[in-house]
Amino acid sequence: MAQDPECIFCKISKGEIPSSKLYEDEKVFAVPDIHPHAPVHLLIIPHEHVPTLNDLPESAFDLIGHVFKVAVELAKRHGVAEQGYKLMHNVNDWGGQRLYHLHFHLLGGKQFGF
């Protein structure tokens, strides 16, 4: 599994930085966002270091389906599945990406506009 020794998400994945992992399996883990934008704001993060969705090899696109499966499980577990939630991903600077390790935001617990 490729990792970047300078990447904060890789350090969390390896346990070098303490975190409150809410979910973990062989492909991904989930932690609360440290700057939440909703009552429920979780990050779903692959263990493998991939800077952006543009860098994900075609052979690994099954990972995205796995992220969605985990998102549904976490939304149910955190009580936001029925009312609704957002699953967001930002790509590169203009797309709002600030940390260059593929990750997805699950936000819920309030009503969102467009």
Positions annotated as catalytic residues are 103
Q: How far apart are CA 28 and CA 35, in angstroms?
A: 20
Q: How far apart are CA 94 and CA 33, in angstroms?
A: 21
Cβ atoms of 33 and 108 within 8 Å: the answer is: no
Q: How far is CA 19 from the centre of its chain?
A: 14
